[in-house]
């Protein structure tokens, strides 16, 4: 049986640990993380704005190609819809950025930043899928897929490999049938 001072010390530490757990103590924020998160939000919006100007050029290229290839017309319309969503999201993201500041609490900044980058990733994914479909139509085939051995899937998921290694297919390359 432990001695009384040791027993009271272990009870004190246990009670302190329980108090921290049940109080919902947050250990994030501080150390300039608010300013860094706000700066990352600004950079994400700047990249998204430059993506918009590139997508507008891609839409023009796709519409030109759709005039000569009727099969591309629905894809051009889909791309235009994505472009409109892109504009709407960019306006919303800029409004969110304007409503916040580097002195806003970390939790709010982090939540809004995660929302922004998630929406931007979804728009980029929609562009990528549409561009791959354009490539499939132009080359009269399916979008090429990489066959993985089963062991590779367990060591590195395909999505990580795609995010790290894949050069995105540009609309010009898709229309030219190049990868």
pLDDT band per the 50, 70, 90 thresholds, residue 24: low
Higher-pLDDT residue of 164, 45: 45
CA distance 163 to 28: 27
Identify the pLDDT of residue 96.
Answer: 96
Here the tokens at position 104 are 């806003």
- Determine, yes or no, domain membership for 45: yes
Q: What is the residue range of 162's domain? A: 31-176
- Determine, yes or no, domain membership for 53: yes
pLDDT, mean of residues 171-175:
85
Q: What DSSP designation does 32 have?
A: T
- Determine, yes or no, domain membership for 95: yes
Q: How many helices (H) and strands (E) does the chain have?
A: 7, 0
The 3-state DSSP class for residue 177 equals coil
Least confident of 7-21, 68-82, 98-112: 7-21
Identify the pLDDT of residue 2.
Answer: 54
For the range 94-98, what are the long-range contacts, defined as Cβ-Cβ under 8 Å and sequence gap of 24 or more? 94/45, 96/41, 97/41, 97/42, 97/45
- Range ranked top by mean pLDDT from 15-19, 24-28, 81-85, 107-111: 81-85
Identify the pLDDT of residue 15.
Answer: 81
- Determine, yes or no, domain membership for 3: no
- Determine, yes or no, domain membership for 10: no
- Determine, yes or no, domain membership for 24: no
Q: Which of 112, 114, 135, 47 is nearest to 86 (CA)?
A: 47
Identify the pLDDT of residue 109.
Answer: 93
Identify the pLDDT of residue 169.
Answer: 82
- Determine, yes or no, domain membership for 6: no
Indicate if the pLDDT at residue 6 is higher than 80: no
How big is the CA angle at 161 (ends 160 and 162), to the nearest 5 degrees? 90
CA distance 82 to 131: 12
pLDDT, mean of residues 144-149:
50
Q: How many domains does the chain have?
A: 1
Identify the pLDDT of residue 159.
Answer: 61
Cβ-count burial of 135 within 10 angstroms (0-12 exposed, 13-18 middle, 19+ buried)? buried
Contact residues for 14 (Cβ-Cβ < 8 A; gap 6+): none
For the chain, how far is it from start to end, CA to CA, in angstroms?
73
pTM, full prediction: 0.72
- Determine, yes or no, domain membership for 25: no
Average pLDDT of the chain, as a whole number: 83
Higher-pLDDT residue of 16, 34: 34
Here the tokens at position 119 are 């929406």
CA distance 85 to 119: 10
């Amino acid at each position: 049986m432990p001695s009384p001072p040791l027993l009271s010390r272990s009870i004190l530490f246990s009670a302190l640990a329980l108090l921290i757990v049940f109080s919902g103590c947050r250990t994030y924020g501080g150390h300039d993380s608010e300013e860094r998160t706000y700066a990352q939000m600004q950079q994400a919006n700047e990249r998204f704005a430059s993506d918009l100007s590139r997508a507008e050029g891609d839409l023009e290229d796709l519409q030109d190609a759709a005039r000569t290839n009727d099969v591309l017309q629905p894809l051009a319309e889909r791309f235009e819809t994505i472009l409109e969503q892109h504009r709407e999201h960019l306006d919303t993201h800029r409004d969110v950025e304007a409503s916040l500041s580097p002195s806003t609490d970390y939790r709010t900044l982090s939540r809004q930043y995660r929302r922004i980058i998630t929406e931007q990733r979804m728009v980029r994914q929609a562009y990528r899928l549409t561009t791959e479909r354009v490539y499939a139509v132009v080359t009269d085939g399916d979008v090429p897929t990489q066959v993985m051995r089963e062991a590779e899937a367990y060591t590195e998921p395909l999505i990580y490999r795609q995010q790290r290694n894949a050069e995105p297919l540009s609309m010009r390359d898709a229309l030219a049938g190049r990868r």
